[in-house]
């Protein structure tokens, strides 16, 4: 078997998906049978995406001003995207004021018009919405992974572990992924600004995949549902110590609040009908996986294979990218 360039083989088999010990939307943990597949060894990089844009002329959604017809009450609409801006000190974690809509922020200018990707060829591309991710995958003759495929691959053959590398967050004192170091969202103890790291900065998982958790969230092809299995009766005694509003949702998108009513409250199990795809402002909502450089031990602990959140299909941020599988 000749491996496709830049991809590794993910062996099939039985895999334990989900978690009963973290956020309610990850429940229930359940076993699935997965067929083997090829997957990109790391997230799609700026250099890879630039080739796609050069060959196709693709313009990302963040580079296009919103249509006034869709938002008649919002004057002066300009192209841009959501960017993390660290506050100067501690803030109320229930209100994510660290997100700002920045005009002209896009994949070429990840932090706004004064920023650039020059010298960042091997960093993950960001500010990618679902249509952008799908367009890239189609151009590369690849697919976006399903949630199950993504999580099976992220576990690297370690069944039921909390993290992609095992059950200890920092084995032997070594950090294994790019997540927030310090007290989120103001105390950054990294030697550089909070941002994605170059592909391959941290050790690969058991399947040889880099950066499956942390750095950037990644799109999957699955439509969001608030539970893996709504018929499974989960005990309200399963409490979560994690915060009510994830750091991953920029204000104004209403994604998390609208798509997942009540399910971020610790111990809450209420959920809409699983047969009805969730939507935000009439947009389809997809599952994104993997966490990002903004996930923190004191706040959004979603740099885990089981973690999952909804993302409206037309939302892009500076911590959201993609990774593909072979057709």
CA distances to 112, 191, 242, 275, 288 from 181, rounded to whole Å, are: 24, 10, 17, 39, 22
pLDDT at 269: 27
276 vs 116, residue with greater confidence: 116
pLDDT at 279: 43
Q: How confident is the model at residue 128 (pLDDT cuts 50, 70, 90)?
A: very high
At residue 106, what are phi and psi to the nearest 5 degrees? Answer: -160, -170
pLDDT at 209: 98
Under 8 Å between Cβ of 85 and 98: yes
Do strands 325-326 and 142-143 pair parallel, antiparallel, or not at all (unpaired)?
antiparallel
pLDDT digits (tens, 9 = 90+) for 40-75: 999 999 999 999 999 999 999 999 998 767 666 665
**Burial of 5 per CB tally in 10 Å (0-12, 13-18, 19+):** exposed
DSSP-based helix, strand, coil % in the chain, nearest 5: 15, 20, 65
DSSP code string of 278-313: -EETTEEEEEEES--TT-BTTS----STT-EEEEET
The domain at 1-327 falls in which architecture?
Answer: Alpha-Beta Complex (3.90)
List the chain domain ranges: 1-327
The neighbouring-strand residues paired with 45 are 124
> pLDDT above 70 covers what percent of the chain?
80
246 contacts: CB under 8 Å, gap ≥ 6 = 256, 264, 300, 302, 309
Average pLDDT, the chain: 86
4 contacts: CB under 8 Å, gap ≥ 6 = 38, 326
Mean pLDDT across 161-168? 97
Under 8 Å between Cβ of 125 and 45: yes
Q: Which residue has the tokens 């993390």?
A: 84
pLDDT digits (tens, 9 = 90+) for 111-122: 999 999 999 999
pLDDT at 3: 80
Mean pLDDT across 166-180? 97
> pLDDT above 90 covers what percent of the chain?
77
Mean pLDDT across 244-253? 53
pLDDT at 121: 98
Under 8 Å between Cβ of 300 and 19: no
């Amino acid at each position: 078997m000749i491996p496709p360039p830049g991809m590794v083989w993910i062996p099939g088999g039985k895999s334990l998906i989900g978690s009963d010990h973290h956020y309610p939307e990850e429940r229930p943990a359940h076993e699935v049978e997965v067929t083997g597949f090829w997957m990109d060894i790391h997230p799609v990089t700026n250099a890879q995406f630039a080739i796609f844009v050069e060959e196709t002329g693709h313009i990302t959604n963040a580079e296009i001003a919103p249509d006034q017809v869709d938002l008649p009450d919002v004057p002066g609409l300009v192209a841009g995207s959501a960017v993390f801006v660290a506050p100067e000190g501690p803030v109320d974690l229930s209100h994510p004021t660290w997100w700002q809509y920045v005009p002209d922020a896009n994949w070429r200018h990840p932090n706004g018009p004064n920023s650039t990707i020059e010298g960042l060829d091997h960093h993950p591309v960001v500010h990618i919405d679902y249509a952008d991710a799908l367009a890239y995958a189609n151009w590369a003759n690849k697919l976006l992974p399903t949630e199950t495929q993504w999580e099976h691959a992220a576990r690297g053959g370690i069944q039921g572990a909390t993290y992609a590398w095992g059950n200890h967050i920092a084995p032997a004192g070594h950090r294994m992924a790019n997540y927030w170091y310090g007290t989120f969202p103001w105390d950054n103890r990294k030697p550089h600004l909070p941002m994605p790291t170059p592909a391959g900065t941290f050790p690969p998982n058991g399947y040889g995949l880099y950066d499956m958790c942390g750095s950037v969230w990644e799109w999957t092809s699955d439509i969001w549902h608030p539970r893996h299995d709504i018929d499974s009766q989960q005990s309200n005694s399963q409490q979560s110590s994690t915060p009510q509003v994830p750091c991953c949702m920029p204000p104004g998108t209403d994604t998390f609040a609208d798509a997942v009513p009540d399910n971020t409250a610790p111990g809450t199990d209420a959920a809409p009908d699983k047969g009805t795809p969730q939507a935000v402002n009439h947009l389809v909502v997809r599952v994104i996986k993997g966490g990002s450089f903004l996930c923190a031990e004191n706040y959004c602990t979603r740099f885990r294979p089981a973690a999952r959140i909804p993302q409206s299909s037309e939302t892009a941020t500076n911590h959201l990218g993609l990774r593909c599988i072979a057709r």
